[in-house]
Amino acid sequence: MDFDIKYKDFRDGVRAYCEEKIAPHAVEVDRDQFYSKEVHKIVNDKGWWGSIVPKKYGGLGLSTLEYAIIVEEISRICGSTGLTFAAHNSLGTFPIYAFGTEEQRKKYLPPGANGSLIAFGLTEPEAGSDAGGTKSKAEKTADGYILNGTKCWITSANVCDYAITTARTSDEGGVHGISSFVLEKGMKGFAAGKKENKLGCRGSDTAYLHMDDVKIPASHLLGNEGEGFKQFMITLDGGRISIGAMAIGLAQAAFELAVKYSESKIENGKPINRYQSIQFKIADMATRVEAARLMMYKTAWLKDNNHPFTKISAMCKLYASEACHFCTHEAIQILGLEGLTEKYPAERYFRDMKLCEIGEGTSEIQRIVIAREAIRELAGV
Amino acid sequence: MNFDLTEDQIMYRESAREFAEKRLFPVAEELDAKGEMPKELLQEAAEIGFFGLFAPEEYGGMAVDTLSYALIIEEISKACAGLAISMSVHNSLVIKAIEMYGTDEQKKEYLPKLAAGEIIGAYSLSEPNSGTDAGSLQCQAIAKGDDYIFNGTKSWVSTAQFAGIFIVFALTDPEKGSKGISAILVPNGIDGLTLGANEKKMGMKCSDTRELSFMDARVPKANLLGEENHGFKVALSLLDNGRIGIAAQSLGIAEAAYAEALKYSKERKQFGKTLSQFQAIQFKLADMATRIEATKLLVYQAAVLKDSGERHSKEISMAKLYASETANFVANEAVQIHGGYGYVKEYPVERYFRDARVTEIYEGTSEAQRMVISRDLLKD
């Protein structure tokens, strides 16, 4: 067992870049809630949109561990960018590489790796945690499909060039009647709704995706018919690592802010970090961040080494997002009323945090996954 | 980064698991009820080598790495946390201290016997009025001729009854406070040393815990461990070792309580379905399993860092703090899942709940761990 981070230099480089380039935009994208083309380019200049895309398709071919470190470091600076980044890589380029034909890989991965955003359209107004309850339909035609339906809470809906969406190709077979398709911006009948006005991650674009008689050739089917459910379960297993990483980045940012503030803030003639009540908060924050990060490393390591990681991936996402809730909450507590103002980013971290407990499977869903896996392990199946 | 165990580590874990399952678990309830640890069981553990884990091979020890040690303590604690505390003190405090600070004579005299389990080592730092504030201890060991004359009272000494040797911390220069403390090897049974009654504890009942009273007890000066008046440094340098043992012990208790709760939830039926089919129970299990996973990573990391040569007190305190709080959380939820059955001795979770409690107190309370962690974070 070896906990030595060979990636320290890698992390330092990523951190320095994010601090220098992304940090100047973090307040603005949140306050004015827009998707920043400048930040998009900053990420693209490093090739990070293609983090986990293999080199032969124009990506960086990084390990899951390295990719998770990038998500963490971006999120430490800007939760909005962290979310857009995590969604594009884990939910966009990953399923195309994992389930796509060679032709699809060649068509979508090079632009995807070069910053053409790929959205992931799974959730529907009546199918949230119960993602198998997909109502969207894909009617088979002579040479393809006609798609109808509505997807909601889609990250980068307005700013993406491509979207993977799920729809029923059969009313039979329950979840086995769901298939995935790759749609392209500009297809007739395919449109995004108005950007949602959100609590946090306001610099990331979230909106409905409408499919109104969208006609597509059969070549846009991802994998085989009926495999959609299986595909997104696998995709979400990986996506959970990145939301875990995002939560750790936000938690780390909140922790650092709290430590710094506690040194400078004087109450009753001494810095507040001389009080045990503040020291103990700091100790608890650091301990939870440490545990969350170890979980992220282990989950990523398991994935990179082709070991099963469904249960620990859910644990990582659950634990990291709740640790993030704790840390961002305590940071505001340490800052007091100043923590509620725009003067410090504590309130932004707190608002950005909430996505981590809901997106890509709520905390409740993670607990269902963990318990199911644990009970299954006991039964030896 | 690598999360695989080595073949040796797996082997040590398996041998501890086998001993724990076959020899300890079947008798653990009885040992708890009687509040005693049979000497034969200690001997059996010693024969496998569990009392010579950190002793160098030249003295008959196994010289295992700290992660192997943690894995062994974890497995033993799943069955009987009381034995684990004896092993932890003996290996990580007594043997380590003699190995680090002992003279050649002391090593030759004590390490082979300790490693073979012929004598058990105990460790005595706390006093009735000196707990977390260990530097304020009052027991005296005043030099006179070739001896130290001990007077005072030490408390909470684990495995006191069976101990062949105690490492006792006492003031050799009372004027100097914590800078006048020395660590001295005190044989059990000497004149002037009286053992108190076995404490009536809430948990870890099979582990023997007593007070030591010294009244003009003489110990040869040759028994000084390390330099005179440098005892407090000796104690501080051993804290990390001891904490990893307790962290691993806490992890073992948590895992055992979780395993019992998971099993029970599959068997117990209410309202026509098993408890495991209710979300309220599933979510408890998920939280227990998640915290155990986080604990495991913190504990194993602490063990690996310990062997890296650099000081990692912060990470080790994090492991001890988090592991002990997890043990209490998980044991409490395990009792809750068992309902009334968890409150009686028919199932082992009642014992795990009681055993878990002290892990938040000994080898540094949770409050002391938070002091260590925050001091490290705020030091610049």
Among A residues 273-292, those touching chain B with beta carbons less than 8 Å apart: 273, 276, 279-280, 282-284, 286-287, 290-292
Q: Which CATH number fits domain A119-226: 2.30.29.30, 2.40.110.10, 2.60.40.10, 3.30.930.10?
A: 2.40.110.10
Chain B nearest-CA distance from A113, in A, is: 27
Band of residue B32 on the pLDDT scale cut at 50, 70, 90: very high
Identify all chain A residues contacting B293, using CB atoms and an 8 Å cutoff: 295, 312, 315, 319
**A69 touching chain B per CB within 8 A:** no
Instruction: Provide the mean pLDDT of chain A.
Output: 96
Residue pairs between chains A and B whose CB atoms are closer than 8 Å: 129
Q: For residue A131, what pLDDT is reported?
A: 85
The whole-number average pLDDT for the span B291-310 is: 95
Beta carbons of B84 and B158 less than 8 angstroms apart:
no
B46 vs B90: CA distance, rounded Å: 11
Chain A nearest-CA distance from B297, in A, is: 6
List the one residue out of A179, A182, A164, A169 whose CA is nearest residue A219: A182
Q: For residue B134, what pLDDT is reported?
A: 92
Q: For residue A20, what pLDDT is reported?
A: 98
**B31 touching chain A per CB within 8 A:** no
Q: Which helix (H) or strand (E) holds A150?
A: strand A144-155
A184 vs A180: CA distance, rounded Å: 13
Chain B nearest-CA distance from A215, in A, is: 42
List the one residue out of B335, B325, B328 whose CA is nearest residue B356: B328
Distances in whole angstroms, Cα of residue A293 to Cα of each of A64, B15, B300: 14, 31, 14
B357 vs B329: CA distance, rounded Å: 10
Band of residue B159 on the pLDDT scale cut at 50, 70, 90: very high
A246 vs A355: CA distance, rounded Å: 10
Q: Using the beta-carbon criterion (under 8 Å), do A379 and B370 form an inter-chain contact?
A: no
The whole-number average pLDDT for the span B317-332 is: 98
Q: Which CATH number fits domain B7-119: 2.60.40.1120, 1.10.540.10, 3.40.50.720, 2.40.420.20?
A: 1.10.540.10
Q: Using the beta-carbon criterion (under 8 Å), do B377 and A6 form an inter-chain contact?
A: no
CATH class of the domain at A229-379: mainly alpha
Residue B318 has pLDDT above 80, yes or no: yes
Identify all chain A residues contacting B375, using CB atoms and an 8 Å cutoff: 279
A237 vs A311: CA distance, rounded Å: 9
Q: Using the beta-carbon criterion (under 8 Å), do A279 and B298 form an inter-chain contact?
A: no
Identify all chain B residues contacting A2, using CB atoms and an 8 Å cutoff: 1-2, 304
Q: Using the beta-carbon criterion (under 8 Å), do A298 and B279 form an inter-chain contact?
A: no
Domain boundaries, chain B: 7-119, 122-232, 238-377
User: Most B CBs within 10 Å: which of A287, A298, A312, A324, as the mutation test of the B interface?
Assistant: A287
Residue A381 has pLDDT above 80, yes or no: no
Beta carbons of B60 and B116 less than 8 angstroms apart:
yes
Q: Which helix (H) or strand (E) holds B140?
A: strand B140-144
Identify all chain A residues contacting B295, using CB atoms and an 8 Å cutoff: 291
SS3 assignment, position A102: helix
pLDDT digits (tens, 9 = 90+) for A11-32: 999 999 999 999 999 999 999 9
Q: How many CB atoms lie within 10 A of CB B70?
A: 30
pLDDT digits (tens, 9 = 90+) for A234-283: 999 999 999 999 999 999 999 999 999 999 999 999 999 999 999 999 99
Chain A residue with the nearest C-alpha to that of B65: A1
Beta carbons of B73 and B81 less than 8 angstroms apart:
no
Q: For residue B1, what pLDDT is reported?
A: 85
* The amino acid at B50: F
Is residue A364 annotated as a catalytic residue, yes or no? no
Identify all chain A residues contacting B301, using CB atoms and an 8 Å cutoff: 3, 294
**B309 touching chain A per CB within 8 A:** no
Identify all chain A residues contacting B291, using CB atoms and an 8 Å cutoff: 319
Q: What is the CATH number of domain B122-232?
A: 2.40.110.10
Beta carbons of A356 and A320 less than 8 angstroms apart:
yes
Distances in whole angstroms, Cα of residue B345 to Cα of each of B32, B71, B341, B348, B350: 10, 27, 8, 6, 6
Residue B380 has pLDDT above 70, yes or no: no
Who among B67, B322, B367 is closest to A287 (CB)? B322
Residue B285 has pLDDT above 80, yes or no: yes
List the one residue out of B283, B333, B282, B322 whose CA is nearest residue B300: B322
Who among A263, A279, A375 is closest to B370 (CB)? A279
**B344 touching chain A per CB within 8 A:** no
Domain boundaries, chain A: 8-115, 119-226, 229-379
The whole-number average pLDDT for the span B306-333 is: 95
CA angle A65–A71–A77, rounded 5-degree value: 140
**B322 touching chain A per CB within 8 A:** yes
Q: For residue A116, what pLDDT is reported?
A: 98
Q: Using the beta-carbon criterion (under 8 Å), do A279 and B287 form an inter-chain contact?
A: no
Residue A4 has pLDDT above 80, yes or no: no
A148 vs B128: CA distance, rounded Å: 76
pLDDT digits (tens, 9 = 90+) for A174-214: 899 999 999 999 999 999 999 999 999 999 999 999 999 99
Q: Using the beta-carbon criterion (under 8 Å), do A315 and B289 form an inter-chain contact?
A: yes
Angle between helices B66-79 and B81-88 (to 10 degrees): 150
Q: Quote the pTM value.
A: 0.94
Chain B nearest-CA distance from A370, in A, is: 5
The whole-number average pLDDT for the span B53-73 is: 97
Q: Which CATH superfamily is domain B238-377 in?
A: Butyryl-CoA Dehydrogenase, subunit A, domain 3 (1.20.140.10)
The owner of tokens 């912060």 is B314
Chain B nearest-CA distance from A281, in A, is: 9
Who among B6, B286, B304 is closest to A371 (CB)? B286
Q: What ipTM was assigned to the predicted interfaces of this complex? A: 0.90
Q: Percentage of chain A surpassing pLDDT 70?
A: 99
Identify all chain A residues contacting B364, using CB atoms and an 8 Å cutoff: none
Chain B nearest-CA distance from A135, in A, is: 26
Beta carbons of A171 and A204 less than 8 angstroms apart:
no
Chain B nearest-CA distance from A139, in A, is: 37
**A247 touching chain B per CB within 8 A:** no
Q: For residue B132, what pLDDT is reported?
A: 92
Beta carbons of A97 and A235 less than 8 angstroms apart:
no
pLDDT digits (tens, 9 = 90+) for B41-59: 999 999 999 999 999 999 9
Who among B286, B315, B378 is closest to A282 (CB)? B378
A99 vs A120: CA distance, rounded Å: 14
Q: How many CB atoms lie within 10 A of CB A190?
A: 20
B84 vs B256: CA distance, rounded Å: 14
Distance of CA B189 to the CA centre of its chain: 24
Q: For residue A5, what pLDDT is reported?
A: 63
Q: Which of A38, A347, A360, A373 is catalytic?
A: A360
Beta carbons of A49 and A43 less than 8 angstroms apart:
yes
Q: Using the beta-carbon criterion (under 8 Å), do B1 and A3 form an inter-chain contact?
A: yes
**Tokens in use for A197?**
């006005």
pLDDT digits (tens, 9 = 90+) for A289-325: 999 999 999 999 999 999 999 999 999 999 999 999 9
The residue count of chain A comes to: 381
CATH architecture of structural domain A8-115: Orthogonal Bundle (1.10)
Residue B326 has pLDDT above 80, yes or no: yes
Residue A138 has pLDDT above 80, yes or no: yes
Angle between helices A346-356 and A228-264 (to 10 degrees): 160
pLDDT digits (tens, 9 = 90+) for B100-158: 999 999 999 999 999 999 999 999 999 999 999 999 999 999 999 999 999 999 999 99
